[in-house]
Structure 1
């Protein structure tokens, strides 16, 4: 009887140890949040909103020196309950390599259709205007003058966050 109790105690200890470790191959997805120094943003989010919230934030300077700061929080349950179909147009506009290149170049300071057309690999002027219209329609770009474009400040950090999340 004592041997069975010892074996049971060992099995429970092994199960507890296994439950405390992230699943194999997913250490980058499941990170312990107990280290307040390393996870200061996460700890601040939980302190402010509790469990069940999402936050993205950023502070940067664009290449020409314009400062951009952004923060947005969302309730995770509300987002999961929402209809995601309307997001497709906004995300779909990012789904073409030339559109991503256009956004990058515009953030770097190349802001006219003519300048963008002179860059390698952007395609014909008709193709460039097509891609620019798609990005404007989806809200990733706006026209600021005849043939001049910019990424609206409120879209810079979300755009960079989407790209950061999509990194392989």
Structure 2
């Protein structure tokens, strides 16, 4: 990622965090907040705070699509491989042991449709910077729910 691209990504993260905090009035039943600061090819800081009651009003199908995409073992492995940076489709297929382009396309289509990853040009995929922390938080929260962190 170029310096300008990294700076733009950092600005987008900050604006999104500010917009999120504007919606995050604690309300009668509290709030949900998550944040992180990571460096996977460039620094990313992310914080969002949202009303606990309003969480139920977020688009249900979008949430289901993301969880389903990340819940498949091959897709999880693909996302983990992309944490190290952009990769070509052939590299990803080899990294997770896929034997056909059709298999790779099927899984990458599910991840791109859920907006977990994006495609650069012809065949190079990446995780958009503003999505790094939320993806890592989903992974951590799932481990916490399963009591794997204890």
- TM normalised by structure 1 equals 0.64
Query: Does 1 or 2 have the higher relative contact order (CA < 8 Å, sep 6+)?
Result: 2
- The equivalent residue for 1:126 is 102
CA RMSD of aligned residues (A): 2.2
- The answer (yes or no) to whether the contact 1:110–1:116 under 8 Å persists in 2 is no
- The equivalent residue for 2:39 is 61
State the secondary structure of the residue aligned to 1:69. strand
Extract unaligned runs of 5+ from structure 2: 1-20
CA distance in 1, matches of 2:93, 2:57: 42
Structure whose CA Rg is larger: 1
Cα distance, 1:60 vs. partner?
0.7
Cα distance, 1:125 vs. partner?
2.0
Greater share of helix residues, 1 or 2? 2
Q: Relative to structure 1, is the Cα distance of residues 138 and 49 closer, same or farther in structure 2, using a 3 angstrom cutoff?
A: same
- The equivalent residue for 1:89 is 65
- The equivalent residue for 1:18 is none
State the 4+ residue runs in structure 1 displaced beyond 4 angstroms.
48-51
How many residues are matched? 120
What pairs with 1:84-163 in structure 2 (closer than 5 Å)?
84-109=60-85, 111-163=87-139
Extract unaligned runs of 5+ from structure 1: 1-44
